[in-house]
Structure 1
Amino acid sequence: MTLPAYVPVSQWVADRASFVSDSLRDSGDGVVVARCAEGIALVAHHSEADPPRAMRSISEIHDRLAFAGVGVFHETEDLRVAGIRFADLRAYAYDRLDVTGRSLASMYSRVIGTLFARPDVKPYQVQVTVAELGLVPSEDRFHTISFDGSVRVSVDPVVMGVAPGRCVNLPDHPTLSQVVRASASTLDTDPANLEVGLLDRHVSTRRHFRRLDAADVLETDGDES
Structure 2
Amino acid sequence: MMTIPAYVPPSEWVTDRSTFVSDSIRNGGDGIVVARCADGIAMLARQCGANLSKSMRSVSEIHDRLAFAAVGLFHEAEELRVAGIRFADLRTYAYGRLDVTGRSLASMYARIIGKTFARIDVKPYQVQVTVAELGLVPSEDRFYTIDFDGSVRAGTGPILTGATDENSLDLPNNAPISEIVRAAGHVLDVEPANLEVGLLDRHASTRRHFRRLDAATVLEADGDGS
TM-score, shorter chain, exceeding 0.5? yes
CA deviation string 1:145-167 (max 9, x = no partner): 00000000000100111236522
Equivalent positions of 1:97-176 (< 5 A) are 97-163=98-164, 166-171=167-172, 173-176=174-177
TM-score normalised by the chain length of structure 2: 0.94
When structure 1 is superposed on structure 2, of 166-175 and 138-147 the one drifting more is 166-175
CA distance in 1, matches of 2:183, 2:11: 38
Equivalent positions of 1:74-113 (< 5 A) are 74-113=75-114
SS of residue in 1 equivalent to 2:223: helix
CA distance in 2, matches of 1:113, 1:83: 15
Structure 2 unmatched ranges of 5 or more = none
CA distance in 2, matches of 1:30, 1:164: 10
Please state how far the C-alpha of 1:173 moved relative to its aligned partner. 2.2
Change (3 A) 1:20 1:178: same
When structure 1 is superposed on structure 2, of 45-54 and 4-13 the one drifting more is 45-54
Alignment of 1:33 onto 2:34:
yes
CA contact (8 A) 1:129 1:144 kept: yes
Please state how far the C-alpha of 1:170 moved relative to its aligned partner. 2.1
Please state how far the C-alpha of 1:53 moved relative to its aligned partner. 4.0
Change (3 A) 1:50 1:82: closer
CA distance in 1, matches of 2:124, 2:144: 20
Change (3 A) 1:91 1:169: same
Structure 2 equivalent of residue 65 of structure 1:
66
Structure 2 equivalent of residue 197 of structure 1:
198
TM-score normalised by the chain length of structure 1: 0.95
SS of residue in 2 equivalent to 1:205: coil
CA distance in 2, matches of 1:16, 1:157: 27
Please state how far the C-alpha of 1:47 moved relative to its aligned partner. 2.3
CA deviation string 1:7-45 (max 9, x = no partner): 000000000000000100111110000000000000001
Structure 2 equivalent of residue 47 of structure 1:
48
Change (3 A) 1:50 1:101: closer
- Equivalent pairs: percent with the same residue? 70
SS of residue in 1 equivalent to 2:103: helix
SS of residue in 2 equivalent to 1:153: strand
Amino acid at match of 1:70: V
CA contact (8 A) 1:197 1:210 kept: yes
CA deviation string 1:82-119 (max 9, x = no partner): 00010011111111000000000010000000000000
Amino acid at match of 2:19: S
SS of residue in 1 equivalent to 2:163: coil
Structure 1 equivalent of residue 24 of structure 2:
23
User: Displaced runs of 4+ in structure 1, greater than 6 A?
Assistant: none
CA contact (8 A) 2:37 2:173 kept: no
CA contact (8 A) 1:50 1:193 kept: no
CA distance in 2, matches of 1:85, 1:172: 31
Please state how far the C-alpha of 1:169 moved relative to its aligned partner. 3.3
Amino acid at match of 2:184: S
Structure 1 equivalent of residue 8 of structure 2:
7
CA contact (8 A) 1:43 1:194 kept: yes
CA distance in 2, matches of 1:10, 1:163: 27
When structure 1 is superposed on structure 2, of 18-27 and 53-62 the one drifting more is 53-62
Please state how far the C-alpha of 1:48 moved relative to its aligned partner. 1.1
Structure 1 unmatched ranges of 5 or more = none
CA distance in 1, matches of 2:5, 2:80: 34
Please state how far the C-alpha of 1:177 moved relative to its aligned partner. 0.6
CA distance in 1, matches of 2:155, 2:32: 16
